[in-house]
Amino acid sequence: MKHGKQKNDPQKSDGSVYKLVELVGSSSKSSDDAVNNAVTRAAKTLRNLRWFQVTETRGSLADGKVAHWQVTVKIGFTLDDES
């Protein structure tokens, strides 16, 4: 993680490296739910997810209403052995 925990993880606290992946989550419910969907999807294939940053909020419109919220997030995770 970009932030805390390093002290609890001393053998790798110095020189820890994190990777950022950029996903777009979508949801018909809410902008927060779009973020949750992106995180849930990332968790299927990546371990050690630590933080996220929202980089864009947009969405599709249909019939004069928000059809889907589409939120772009960067997700940071600890690199162990894949890159």
Sites of contact with a copy of itself (CB under 8 A)? 1-7, 13-32, 35-46, 49-54, 56-62, 64-70, 72, 74-76, 79, 81-83
- Which element (helix H / strand E) includes 50? strand 49-62
**CA 83 – CA 37 distance, rounded (Å):** 23
Separation between Cα atoms, residue 75 and residue 52, nearest integer Å: 4
**Shortest distance (Å) from residue 31 CB to a copy of itself:** 6
In whole angstroms, how close is the CB of 8 to a copy of itself at the nearest point? Answer: 8
Minimum gap (Å) between residue 36 Cβ and a copy of itself: 6
H-run or E-run covering 45: helix 31-45
